[in-house]
Chains A and B, each alone.
Chain A
Amino acid sequence: MAETTLNGFEAKEAHQNGLRGVAADWSSDQRAFKSASWGKAMMWIFLLSDTFVFSCFLLAYMTVRMSTVEPWPNASEVFALHIAGADIPLILIAIMTFVLISSSGTMAMAVNFAYRRNRSATVALLLATALLGAAFVGMQAFEWTKLITEGVRPWGNPWGAPQFGATFFMITGFHGTHVTFGVIFLLIVAFKVWRGEYDRGERGFFTTRRGDYEHVEIMGLYWHFVDLVWVFIFAFFYLW
């Protein structure tokens, strides 16, 4: 494991493992996260705070759904699409799930190729990820349009409990915003890889720290988190 000390020399001693390692890392009077760089640890801590944000949304959804005395609209029917003369339940959501999982796969491959210093493959995979993400947001816009034309509002809907619309727009809207920002940052990272900025270690416009191929992995952490949140939304909001 690499170790950064204040004088820049790599520490030679091996780190302990297991619970003793946890105690040693946290009490080492230096950095607690020996294997993760500054940027990566900060991304993880941001993702932890984002976990709480989404948890609170899903908890609020659970609370209103458990306490309402009106029947909850059947997601299977609400999100069905009429294709080839038959109503297929939840089909749009299933396609969105597969699109997002595919984008997670291409992102993981992009991280791998970035560490292999294969720039063209990394750029292609990052662009593929961004394209799949944009497709996801497009389908979500279609879904919102469909539901709004059918009369779903944050304060009511034609099928039952009025809280359905409020939780639907809040949860999917917040997630869609995350995907949108992810697509923007994917394009920025792809552009930087394409120009070879991480090879030359050019300074970033925001932090003025030197760029590194680890940025692709940090971008990947965010993107996989967006996919992770969708796993929970899919289970609790659409399937439950």
Chain B
Amino acid sequence: MATHTEQTGHGYSQTAIAAHAESQQHPIRIYLIVWFWLFVLSACSYLIDYIGLQGMLRWSLIITFMLLKAGLIVAVFMHMVWERLALVYAILLPPLAVLVFVIIMAIESDYTALTRMMSFVNGG
């Protein structure tokens, strides 16, 4: 490849990119299937509100459909299933720290709500 020698100074070879490009070459069918399921899952999430489900059933279904959609987008559309584990872990593990943050803030806001209610009831 003509550009190969030209690029070696940058440590950035076109052959490597080309070979990599071929590794992200997947049949169109798989994208269409994922696309179809994203539509179905979105319709389902909308139906939760349209039918007017309430309580635990509503929340668990919202979370389930949300995680399924997010998983499909990251795995197939963003090609995460075809990347090496070193990249997958580097990107997908750090957001788990957010879950800890969620727990901390949930405890904190519960306390805030409680003190607000107490002060409103007792007149401050």
Contacts and interface: CB of A to CB of B under 8 A. Distances in A.
Please determine whether chains A and B interact with each other in the same assembly. yes
B86 A33 contact: yes
A67 B77 contact: no
Nearest to A225: B78
Interface stretch (A130-138, A187-195, A213-221): A213-221
A209 to B, nearest CB: 7
Contact of A224 (B52, B78, B86, B90): B78
Contacts of A197: none
B114 to A, nearest CB: 9
B3 A67 contact: no
B85 A239 contact: no
Contacts of A209: 10, 12
A235 B20 contact: no
A120 interface: no
B50 to A, nearest CB: 6
Contacts of B34: 108
A2 B19 contact: yes
B20 A22 contact: no
Interface residues on B, range: 35 or more
Contact of A15 (B4, B26, B84): B84
Interface in B57-101: 58-59, 62-63, 65-66, 69-70, 73-74, 76-79, 82-87, 89-91, 94-95, 98, 101
Contact of A239 (B10, B49, B74): B49
A25 B91 contact: no
B86 to A, nearest CB: 4
A98 interface: yes
Interface string A101-128: 1001101110110011000000000000
A76 B11 CA distance: 54
Contacts of A32: 86, 90
Interface stretch (A55-63, A141-149, A152-160, A178-186): A55-63
A141 to B, nearest CB: 22
A204 interface: no
Interface string A42-67: 00110110011001000100111011
A8 B49 contact: no
Contacts of A22: 85-86, 89
B98 A59 contact: yes
Contacts of B17: 2, 37, 212, 214
Contact of B70 (A17, A25, A76, A232): A232
A227 to B, nearest CB: 6
B56 interface: no
B122 interface: no
A109 to B, nearest CB: 6
A89 B50 contact: yes
A6 B7 CA distance: 11
Contacts of A196: none
A48 B66 contact: no
Contacts of A111: 24
B62 to A, nearest CB: 5
Given A67-B113, A98-B39, 12 more contacts: A3-B16, A7-B8, A8-B7, A17-B85, A22-B86, A34-B86, A35-B23, A68-B116, A101-B42, A109-B28, A209-B10, A232-B70
Q: Which 5 A-B pairs have the closest CB atoms?
A: A8-B8, A25-B86, A2-B19, A66-B109, A67-B112
